[in-house]
Chains A and B, each alone.
Chain A
Amino acid sequence: NAGVTQTPKFRVLKTGQSMTLLCAQDMNHEYMYWYRQDPGMGLRLIHYSVGEGTTAKGEVPDGYNVSRLKKQNFLLGLESAAPSQTSVYFCASSYPTGPQHFGDGTRLSIL
């Protein structure tokens, strides 16, 4: 049982480049989330989705876009990467009132 899988695990980008982080879950969860984790800041919600075809902004959405075309996948895009987006990104999924299940994280560095 894979649970929540994030790809890639590591990436280094140059300022201005774009990329997409992929999150896939095999638990048939309705809800999916993207967080970023920075030292001293805890987990902060970027965007989330409560079902296929729906997305919503979280606490820190600027500079990111998301899509949920299939229930099992939630994509996080950076259109023009900035050094402030250097972080560890976590995807999570859940049933509407259940605990969140997290992926292993993507460590992203932007030079």
Chain B
Amino acid sequence: ILNVEQSPQSLHVQEGDSTNFTCSFPSSNFYALHWYRWETAKSPEALFVMTLNGDEKKKGRISATLNTKEGYSYLYIKGSQPEDSATYLCAFGDSGYSTLTFGKGTMLLVSP
């Protein structure tokens, strides 16, 4: 079983704050790293799929970076808004890449 760790487990910020979370994954046999956003009472939705070391992806106020050599990815949210409140999941795909191993997620709450 592959070990995918996310930190922090939960985070509470004020509207307008910028924040970031970490995903740690095995540095060997890397194929891809996914980020998903999971709002309460909904299903996970894909944010990014990252495959190259040094990759940086951006969608609006959310961005992510990838370091495959040391086995970590950061997700950044600039100027958090209440609608950003959700659980953010990362998932690691190894060189077999027919399945993903998910982390337990970081739960973000943004207060107005």
B43 contacts which of A31, A59, A105 (Cβ < 8 Å)? A105
* Residue pair B102, A42 in contact (C-beta under 8 Å): yes
Number of A-B contacts (CB under 8 A): 49
Q: Are A104 and B46 in contact (CB under 8 A)?
A: no
Closest to B105 in A: A42
Do A99 and B98 touch (CB < 8 A)? no
Interfacial residues of chain A within 54-111, with CB under 8 A of chain B in the complex: 56, 58-59, 90, 96-105
Interface size on B, residues (CB 8 A): 21
Per the bound structure, the CA–CA distance linking A16 and B83 in Å amounts to 42
Contact at B43–A102, with CB atoms within 8 Å? yes
| Contact of A99 (CB < 8 Å), options: B42, B49, B102, B104 | B49
Are A97 and B43 in contact, with the CB atoms below 8 A?
no
Contact across chains for B43 and A48 when beta carbons are under 8 A apart: no
* A13 at interface by CB-CB < 8 Å: no
**A104 pairs with B42, CB closer than 8 A:** yes
Q: Say whether A33 contacts B43, CB under 8 Å.
A: no
Interface size on A, residues (CB 8 A): 25
Q: Is B110 an interface residue (CB 8 A)?
A: no
Docked-complex contact A33 and B102, CB < 8 angstroms? no
Per-residue interface assignment for chain B, residues 74 to 110, with 1 indicating a CB less than 8 Å from any chain A CB and 0 otherwise: 0000000000000001010000011111111100000
A-B contact pairs, 17 of them (CB 8 A): A35-B102, A42-B105, A43-B89, A44-B102, A45-B100, A56-B98, A58-B99, A59-B1, A90-B44, A97-B32, A97-B49, A97-B97, A100-B34, A100-B36, A100-B100, A103-B43, A104-B43
Binding site for A on B (CB under 8 A): 1, 32, 34, 36, 42-46, 49, 89, 91, 97-105
Question: 9 tightest A-B contacts by CB?
Answer: A99-B46, A42-B104, A102-B43, A43-B102, A102-B44, A99-B49, A104-B43, A42-B102, A50-B98
